[in-house]
Amino acid sequence: MKRRAVLAVIVSAVLSATVWALSIPMTGRNEPWDADSPYYFVALAVAGAVSGAVVPKHLWANYVGAVLGQAAYELAFLKLGPLFILGLVFLAVIT
């Protein structure tokens, strides 16, 4: 994989994990998509815009990083339940 693509994955992963990390302070919910506001979609759009501005090529790498970053945050900080796999599918589709 090219160096810029790796950078895109890393930047996107960090930014998308930050979306989850800020979910509780911003919305009061553990999962950002449970918020009563458009926080999740707006935050992902901002994270994607920043990531795309930092590494404008390799859009596929930005997408992969966004999914990996959110999944990694879930694995590291949230309680895993029986719907975790379904959540990963939802995450891959909605991102």
pLDDT (tens digit, 9 = 90+) per residue, 53-71? 999 888 899 999 999 999 9
The DSSP annotation for 11-41 comes to HHHHHHHHHHHTHHHHHS-SSGGGSSSSHHH
pTM score of the predicted model: 0.84
pLDDT number for residue 64: 93
Expressed as residue numbers, the domain containing 64 is 3-94
pLDDT number for residue 50: 95
Which residues in 36-73 are b (16+ Cβ under 10 Å) and which e?
eeebbeebbeebbeebbeebeebeebbbbbbbbbbbeb
Q: Could you give the dihedral angle defined by the CA atoms of residues 95, 19, 30 and 39, in that order, rounded to the nearest 10 degrees?
A: -80
48 band by pLDDT with thresholds 50, 70 and 90: very high
Q: Name the domain count of the chain.
A: 1
